[in-house]
Amino acid sequence: MVNFNSISFEKEVFIVKIPEGDIALKKKSDLKYFFEPKSIAVIGSFKEGFFGGYVVVKSLLNAGFAGEIYPVNPSYKEVLGLKVYPSIKDITEEIDLVLIIINCRAVPGVMRECVERRIKAAIVVADGFAERDEEGARLQKEILKIARHNGMRIVGPNTAGIANPAKGLIPNPYEIGYERLKTGGIAICGQTGMINPQAFPYDDLHYGVSKLCDFGNKSDVDECDMLEYLENDPATKVITMYLESIGDGRRFLEISKGVASKKPVLILKSGRTKEGAHVSTSHTGSLAVDDQIFNAACKQTGVIRLKNFLELFELPKIFAYQPLPKGNRLAMVTFTGGVGVIAIDEVTKYHLSIATLSPETETKLNAIFPGLGKTIVDIGPAMVLSNNYTEIYSKILKDVLADDEIDCIFNVIWVGPSGKYVEDYLKFYKELQGRYQKTIATWIYGPKIPFLNEMAYQLEDLGFPVFSNIEMAIKALGIACQYAMARREKSDEAASHNQ
Amino acid sequence: MVNFNSISFEKEVFIVKIPEGDIALKKKSDLKYFFEPKSIAVIGSFKEGFFGGYVVVKSLLNAGFAGEIYPVNPSYKEVLGLKVYPSIKDITEEIDLVLIIINCRAVPGVMRECVERRIKAAIVVADGFAERDEEGARLQKEILKIARHNGMRIVGPNTAGIANPAKGLIPNPYEIGYERLKTGGIAICGQTGMINPQAFPYDDLHYGVSKLCDFGNKSDVDECDMLEYLENDPATKVITMYLESIGDGRRFLEISKGVASKKPVLILKSGRTKEGAHVSTSHTGSLAVDDQIFNAACKQTGVIRLKNFLELFELPKIFAYQPLPKGNRLAMVTFTGGVGVIAIDEVTKYHLSIATLSPETETKLNAIFPGLGKTIVDIGPAMVLSNNYTEIYSKILKDVLADDEIDCIFNVIWVGPSGKYVEDYLKFYKELQGRYQKTIATWIYGPKIPFLNEMAYQLEDLGFPVFSNIEMAIKALGIACQYAMARREKSDEAASHNQ
């Protein structure tokens, strides 16, 4: 067992600590008020701009939030057609969630009014807390005490908030420039606003999200709370997180192990270096955890550790869209040998093995073109001779997919500059839907130019993830195989215990 | 000295070997006929299609090649308004370069006619040689002998060819979908067609290329020849290569050392693993070199080794567009702390050190917003309060750029969903042109959606490279600092020798 408690943290004056006993007040069921509120009060300024209470209300309206919205500000009468209440006390109806986006010094007072109204959940967008200075740290401690003693939960402070697109709940404080956030199976949580919709235009990217949560300063709701919540969230197929620190190491070990055995958990943790950890402390006021210990914790719990920011958004797609591979035998279909060589170099990093095609498939492929039935199915030479490129391509891919000797496939698509094959590919991928129980990762040859982007989104809408580079596609298959293998081992273990 | 000759290669029947003595016939000056021909003969089919002689002629015409084009094929009279000659013997004018794109079995005969005409350079696009089978290996040996005994050089066979966009020389055998290839300082060579314009729409990407060369099966012209040629090519500022094998290890060591001291040489070598190396052999018929030895060779010669396919196209930009850093002190300007933490984790991988801003800069920045003058200049909190975001941004960036305590800068641009700041940024970057001798790497926050792509290209047109992710931007600055440092050490050494 990795002992998180043995870590010696650097002292940092701004860190907020609340007496141990008070943590017992946390209740996991509380998070439902954040993600499924029937009503939300927004306390802030309603001046138009790219940030603020006005934007929150507008985002909620645009996204079609079906619950009640109560804007609160004594200086306004109306915003976007909604009545503005002078104070939270003037709202007679029940309030599930409050979003506070005012000067930090005014937050404790407002929080007291909220607990009087028995509000159970607060998103504190306001900044100027532990990330700023000692005074801010004191304020953060104050609001945390108010919440803890009254059974209220806090996301933040210094957060861009949360989102549940399926409910039209996008109380985003920054202008995001689009209305709806696409609903899907990926939950994204982060100790940064970088994961939020103003940073990543999920909708434009056809990126389907189940829940979003920016922990901000992570004074209360943290990675463990979200893991527990998302474990039982039926909309979430895969959980991905960006963390700079771990709030409670022991709890993290326990919870993540349980969750990872049900759903893939992918974590990018920065602050890996002493330098990075120091900066992390100063921007969200959180403690960083020793990096190697975190590595060991991931191995022990089955959490998949990510390496960079791009992976955070790309790798979860393999779990959200594709079935888990039944084994680790990988086939490749490409039209240029170079891609195959690069891909094979990557393969050896994971527990993937290069599939040997069955003799039947080999024979079928060699009949299409001499030498095609190799480890890497290189369509290139055959394609130059063919009059109908996509016909030969689809025939080859189907032959490979039907082979019982393979579990997953790296498929390289060549579109050509005119884009004339796009429709053919889309039609063909539509045919593949649900037909073969193989895990498919696709790379579209070439850089991200607009029409290839668009094609990638359309393939993903059909359920086939497209990765932005060769290595990412192979890694996606690699982690899918590793995860599937770990799950199988666990269930075998469980089965043998039950005998 | 690393001994390449001690490497034990796996035996492979298809490998073509030419007696040692014949290599002496190689002359480096010969490559000028490939890249600066006054005339080019194209021997192939002139049927319309996406691949073939027709496409080669069309590409040359579209790109505005100023030399003579002689299509050759006994079955045609005219193609695209040009007279077609029945055979190479029927052309009375001088021919500098020939491009052969016919059935492999017919290539030796045509090659003999070419040497009779004293043609000095042949691009053999035709495939079916050492990459295919023993018969192909025999054919490859045959054409190589013909060339070697007559002072002719070969690029290929099994190549997509070469390009020199400044001369309108884009004899591309595949339809590329655009006319001109943007001219710039980056030379790209590869043992794969993946680097060619049909794979990477360089022009659409605003990616400026000096020379392109696909080695194909690399029977003759190889990485060493190209390094020698590009060393003295004034249009080339940085050389980047994708290799699966090294033709002559000893020669590579000597040549790359010399070239790298003049221009940055970046190499992505795949076939790193035994599995990858095996596949590499079967697709271009070349020998792979032991990976660790290659690593050592890079360290010794100053070659910068790349890690993946994306880096091949992104990292050279730092050398092509920006001045070399004078030291390794890195500053960061971002508007979100998370980016800073991720970036700092990366920084420690290279010889970069986080700059400490001068007290003057610190004071100036803190006057703009309390706490702004930190290691990582996080504009975030200040920007939310400002009415004019880009004004405050440009003021801050200029203050940092003017600081004598920094050598290079990682700059994170936030555009916002509406794209309304794009024009402001472009105007501001224009002001920076040539003004500060600092190396700037930019990342535009968010994924690659069309309008951000477009903005990135416009910034690059102004001379400021934009990288597709945080880690890539930091690595670009890291390798630029390492290269600059190595160059300074070398010139210090040279100076002390001269004293």
**What digits encode the pLDDT tens for the residues B286-335?**
545 577 888 888 999 999 999 888 898 899 999 999 999 999 999 999 98
Residues of A in contact with B271 (CB under 8 A): 341, 345
Tell me which DSSP letter residue B23 carries: G
The DSSP secondary structure of A340-360, one letter per residue, reads HHHHHHHHTTTT-EEPPPPHH
pLDDT > 90: what percent of chain B?
Answer: 61
Of A199, A283, A470, the CB nearest to B445: A199
* Contact across the interface for B313 and A447, Cβ inside 8 Å: yes
The per-residue pLDDT for B17 is 52
* Contact across the interface for A447 and B201, Cβ inside 8 Å: yes
Residue B110: its H or E element: helix B107-116
A194-208, B28-42, B276-290: which has the minimum mean pLDDT? B276-290
Kindly report the length of chain A.
Answer: 499
Q: Is B352 a residue whose pLDDT tops 80?
A: yes
The per-residue pLDDT for A190 is 92
Question: Which sign does the torsion angle of CA A244, A248, A250, A255 carry?
Answer: negative
Q: For chain A, which ranges sit under pLDDT 50?
A: 1-15, 23-24, 28, 287
Kindly report the length of chain B.
Answer: 499
The CATH superfamily holding the domain A322-486 is Succinyl-CoA synthetase domains (3.40.50.261)
Q: In whole angstroms, how far apart are CA A58 and each of A48, A176, A209, A250, A405? A: 10, 10, 20, 41, 53
Side-chain half-sphere exposure of A401, counting CA atoms within 13 A: 21
* Contact across the interface for A205 and B309, Cβ inside 8 Å: no
Structure tokens at A55: 């934007």
Q: Is B416 a residue whose pLDDT tops 90?
A: no
Closest by Cα among B22, B84, B38, B32 to B57 = B84
The per-residue pLDDT for B392 is 86
Reply yes or no: is the peptide bond before residue B325 cis, omega within 30 of 0.
no
Q: For residues A126, A130, A132 and A138, what is the CA-based torsion angle, rounded to 10 degrees?
A: 90
Residues B19, B68 contacting (CB under 8 angstroms): no
Q: In whole angstroms, how far apart are CA A4 and each of A273, A300, B419? A: 17, 13, 45
The per-residue pLDDT for A94 is 96
Q: Which residues contact A384 (CB under 8 A, 6 or more apart)?
A: B51, B127
Residues of A in contact with B339 (CB under 8 A): 194
- Whether A321 contacts chain B with CB within 8 A: no
* Contact across the interface for B470 and A374, Cβ inside 8 Å: no
The per-residue pLDDT for A4 is 37
Domains of chain B, by residue range, sit at 17-318, 323-486
Between these two residues, B414 and B265, which has the higher pLDDT value?
B265
Q: Into which CATH architecture does domain A24-318 fall?
A: 3-Layer(aba) Sandwich (3.40)
The per-residue pLDDT for B417 is 66
The per-residue pLDDT for B440 is 97
Q: Which fold has domain B323-486?
A: Rossmann fold (3.40.50)
What is the Cα B415 distance to its own chain's centre?
Answer: 29
Of B51, B194, B341, the CB nearest to A336: B194
Instruction: Provide the pLDDT confidence category of residue B468 given band limits of 50, 70 and 90.
Output: confident
Tell me how far apart the alpha carbons of residues B311 and B222 are, in angstroms, rounded to a whole number: 22
Of B177, B275, B470, the CB nearest to A417: B177
Q: The complex's ipTM? A: 0.75
Residues A71, A57 contacting (CB under 8 angstroms): yes
**B window 147-176, beta carbon within 8 A of A:** 175-176
Question: Which sign does the torsion angle of CA A324, A326, A327, A332 carry?
Answer: negative
The per-residue pLDDT for B14 is 46
* Contact across the interface for B417 and A177, Cβ inside 8 Å: yes
Q: Is B12 a residue whose pLDDT tops 50?
A: no
The per-residue pLDDT for A282 is 59
Closest by Cα among A363, A279, A207, A350 to B340 = A279
Tell me how far apart the alpha carbons of residues A343 and A360 are, in angstroms, rounded to a whole number: 25
Mapped onto helix, strand or coil, the DSSP state of residue A279 is helix
Residues A318, A443 contacting (CB under 8 angstroms): no
Tell me how far apart the alpha carbons of residues B160 and B181 are, in angstroms, rounded to a whole number: 15
**What digits encode the pLDDT tens for the residues B425-467?**
999 999 999 899 999 999 998 666 678 888 999 999 999 999 9
The DSSP secondary structure of B371-436, one letter per residue, reads T-SSSEEE-HHHHHH-S-HHHHHHHHHHHHHT-TT-SEEEEEE---TT-TTHHHHHHHHHHHTTTS
CA angle A191, A193, A197 (to 5 degrees): 130
Residues B293, B7 contacting (CB under 8 angstroms): yes
Tell me how far apart the alpha carbons of residues A247 and B63 are, in angstroms, rounded to a whole number: 60
The stretch B200-213 carries a mean pLDDT of 83
- Whether B301 contacts chain A with CB within 8 A: no
The stretch B243-261 carries a mean pLDDT of 90
Residue with tokens 């503005």: A84
Q: Which fold has domain B17-318?
A: Rossmann fold (3.40.50)
Tell me how far apart the alpha carbons of residues A5 and B86 are, in angstroms, rounded to a whole number: 83
Q: In whole angstroms, how far apart are CA B213 and each of A251, A411, B16, B166, B199? A: 56, 26, 21, 14, 13
The per-residue pLDDT for B287 is 46
Closest by Cα among A303, A267, A325, A315 to A476 = A315
Rounded to 5 degrees, φ, ψ at A181 are -100, 130
Instruction: Give the A:B interface size as CB pairs under 8 Å.
Output: 198
Average of per-residue pLDDT values in chain B: 86
Q: In whole angstroms, how far apart are CA B164 and each of B157, B169, B215, B233, B235? A: 19, 5, 15, 11, 10
Tell me how far apart the alpha carbons of residues B297 and B303 are, in angstroms, rounded to a whole number: 8
* Contact across the interface for B448 and A445, Cβ inside 8 Å: no
A297-311, A344-358, B197-211, B266-280: which has the minimum mean pLDDT? B266-280
Q: Do the domains B323-486 and B17-318 match in fold?
A: yes
